[in-house]
Structure 1
Amino acid sequence: MKRILDFVLRKFIQTGSLRVTFSDGTVRTYRGRKPGLEAGLQLLNKQAERALIINSGLAFGEEYMAGSIVPDGCTLETLLTVLMENINGHGHVFEEIEDRLRYVTRAWKTLNSLKKSRSNVAHHYDLNGTLYDLFLDKDRQYSCAYFAREDMTLEEAQIAKKRHIASKLNLDRPGFEVLDIGCGWGGMALTLAKDYGAKVLGITLSREQLEVARKRAKEEGLEGQVRFELIDYRNLHQQFDRIVSVGMFEHVGPPQFEAFFKQLKACLKPDGVALIHSIGRMDGPGTTNPWIQKYIFPGGYSPALSETLAAIERSGLWMTDCEVLRLHYARTLAEWRKRFDANRDKIRALYDERFVRMFEFYLVGAELAFRVQGHMNFQLQLTRSIDAVPFTRDYMFERERESATS
């Protein structure tokens, strides 16, 4: 297996260099033709070598979690940067075969039924709530922040994100009925109620999030204005003035895209406005990394705009605005990583070392997906009517300035 892996790595590394110490102590250095970072790794047993050949996309993360792959003379970030930059170039023959097979099976893996969707959400969002307090901001915004200024803290950038989204909802008077699909721990819904006078229904499939969101509404005296329920968006039969969904569309899955937007249209009043905030990819339809699919977000998929817009067109909705946020999530994840690293011991006490390594691998890999692999965020404003929003975009900036100074 070492000889096969050696052959693969000689073809694979075209940018930077990678020094590999095999399980028998043999050291090989693979140098690319293009300049780049230098990284090193140790393979501590033959199982790790074999796994990297058979299913590298899944195996690398699993072996890192098990401690069988160890960065050598560099950080995990540097090691993953070298590997991900080379995957960008061409991958290798085994990785290309794996990717094609993943694409063939992606519809099945993201066929998120009502039952499967509840299970998928519970896998990640029903973890010990203390975990999220240890690396998120105080409002528990678990999505891309908006760094309107270079010197913003994470807390400030998450407030700016909510303000940015609210401006696109055009909440120009109190009393709007708003649906928040995938409301998380309630931060967006509570903000829209408190700062904009909206009446909000927040829906989630996470029992942990539901409990926290309801508690927060009670503590802030907003129970009469905000309601949180354990409901799948497909089971709603009510219309709203505004609909917002932040970080939920990534859990819908391509087979359900068209149904999602048709349901969005059905739940939107004729003059209503919806805002969808989602992770996306700039290089067209693809697949979810198998390690992420198995350990972090089962059923999850970051959509390309091309496949998203095709589903919107078939739904009959107007796309009245689109904005792409490029490196905002990379900065957000970098802030989460700092807080996670500062609390490693506390997180280890909640779970164990394997969990810490798993979550570290997720956060580092996710940040690099935005820095070097074409991931981004997009915000889509959607309406049923051609004239549901003002003639120009000026109102967005005006609303944002007003809420920033109030």
Structure 2
Amino acid sequence: MLEKQVYSKLFAHAFDIPISVKYWDGKVENYGQGEPEVKVEIKKSIPLTQLVDQPTLVLGEAYMNGEIEIDGSIQKLVASAYRNSGSFLTKNSFLKHLPKMSHSEKESKKDVQSHYDIGNDFYKLWLDKSMTYSCAYFRTPADSLEQAQMNKIEHILYKLQPKSGQTLLDIGSGWGSLLIVAAEKFGLKATGITLSQEQYDYTQNLIKEHHLEDQVKVLLQDYREVKGQYDLVTSVGMFEHVGKENLETYFKEVHEFLKPEGRALIHGITGQHRGAGVDPFIIKYIFPGGYIPNLEENVGHIIDAGLQITDIEPLRRHYQRTLEIWNENYMKVFDQAADKYGLPFARMWTLYLQACAASFEAGNIDVVQYLLTKAPSGTGLPMTRDYLYQAENSNN
């Protein structure tokens, strides 16, 4: 009885929308004013100490295993909790004791492969044809995901004001879509690096399909192993993988990769709060070793590395929309994923995609593009920001 009272108190203050909770004994409680917008069924009692200490991990595992069912939008439910400063879901003691995570070259490769080497077949189920697994850029509300991903790649490259024949290094090159566009549309000599065997093999085939062997190459390497200097550097969705203790090294490496007047466009998820940018559920099941730095951390490391900031652009709403479309795509193939990878795995990805969309929606995290120069800020670029959009507009 006491346990149920504590549960009731926790849920009463957890959300800013009305919900109903059906407990394991069959009793239903409504919380908040009005008709419940989301219904939650808890089929099995969860120890309260675990629930309070690591709520996202405990509830996430319970959902994966079918011990919790949610009737309604997971995104709406999670965003509601994030908006509510009094929610126990936002008071995670795990964050007070950030576990030490190794980010040696060996461990980084293991972490990356645990996520990206699930297999290209899995990602093909719900990504667009370009296999771009990062925030898209919606120039208009009518843009398809595929168009928005191409918009994003071109937006990044236009910002750098590339000249045909220049060299480009893409740190964390994914499945290679940026490399192909950089070569075909902008005439760049592009090199990509990845730690994922699946991404490496896919990109190698892509280069051959586009007959770009003399212009594009991909290396199965850690960013700390790369040698040489380049006119331009891009890095999309990469610094979230390097770890808190290696952010300084990462930005210093970007500096070293650039020629004296080189430019870099760094695109990644950035925390909108101070403190530990980790979540126990995501660390355990999605991105081992992951860490989301906040804006202050990144800017400090950029300055310490000797890089100068020319432009910073947040794209929070774009990533929310990207995740919502990914989830729509994923739900259409949910049964295929469950048949091939197991129901807990399939439910885990449902939760992950919707919870991430909720986090962007609530403003917990953002995705930011940092335009950096090795020379004094803006060297070699136009005097105003007009150029950032003129080229895009003239080509669309």
TM class, shorter-length: over 0.9
* Residue 31 of structure 1: how far off its partner (Å): 2.3
User: Out of 244, 257, 274, which is 1:267 matched to?
Assistant: 257
* Residue 170 of structure 1: how far off its partner (Å): 0.8
Question: Would the alpha carbon gap of residues 252 and 47 (structure 1) be closer, same or farther in structure 2, given more than 3 Å must change?
Answer: same
Give CA-to-partner distance per residue, 1:219-264, whole Å, 9 cap, x none: 1101111101111111112100000001111112221111111111
CA–CA distance in 1 between the matches of 2:185 and 2:245? 37
1:1-400 matched pairs, under 5 angstroms: 1-10=3-12, 12-13=13-14, 15-31=16-32, 38-47=37-46, 51-72=50-71, 74-86=72-84, 89-92=85-88, 96=91, 98-99=92-93, 101-105=94-98, 108-109=100-101, 111-171=102-162, 173-386=163-376, 387-400=379-392
* Residue 384 of structure 1: how far off its partner (Å): 1.0
Q: TM-score, normalised by structure 2?
A: 0.93
Q: Which amino acid is 1:112 matched to?
A: H
CA–CA distance in 1 between the matches of 2:389 and 2:16? 42
* Partner secondary structure for residue 175 of structure 2: coil
> Which contiguous aligned blocks of 4+ residues in structure 1 show a shift greater than 4 angstroms?
48-51
* Residue 365 of structure 1: how far off its partner (Å): 0.4
With 294-303 and 140-149 compared, the bigger mean Cα shift is at 294-303
CA–CA distance in 2 between the matches of 1:352 and 1:385? 52
CA–CA distance in 1 between the matches of 2:328 and 2:292? 24
- Whether the aligned pair in 2 keeps the contact of 1:285 and 1:306 (CA below 8 Å) is no
CA–CA distance in 2 between the matches of 1:43 and 1:105? 29
Q: What is the root-mean-square deviation in Å for CA atoms of aligned residues?
A: 2.0
Structure with a larger share of its residues in helix: 1
Q: Which amino acid is 1:391 matched to?
A: M
With 76-85 and 284-293 compared, the bigger mean Cα shift is at 76-85
Could you list the runs of 5+ residues in structure 2 that have no partner in the other structure?
none
* Partner secondary structure for residue 97 of structure 2: helix
* Partner secondary structure for residue 277 of structure 1: strand
Identity %: 36
* Residue 78 of structure 1: how far off its partner (Å): 3.5
* Partner secondary structure for residue 201 of structure 2: helix
* Partner secondary structure for residue 41 of structure 2: strand
* Partner secondary structure for residue 7 of structure 1: helix
* Residue 285 of structure 1: how far off its partner (Å): 4.0
Q: Which amino acid is 2:215 matched to?
A: Q
With 348-357 and 50-59 compared, the bigger mean Cα shift is at 50-59
Question: Would the alpha carbon gap of residues 378 and 226 (structure 1) be closer, same or farther in structure 2, given more than 3 Å must change?
Answer: same
CA–CA distance in 2 between the matches of 1:348 and 1:65? 11
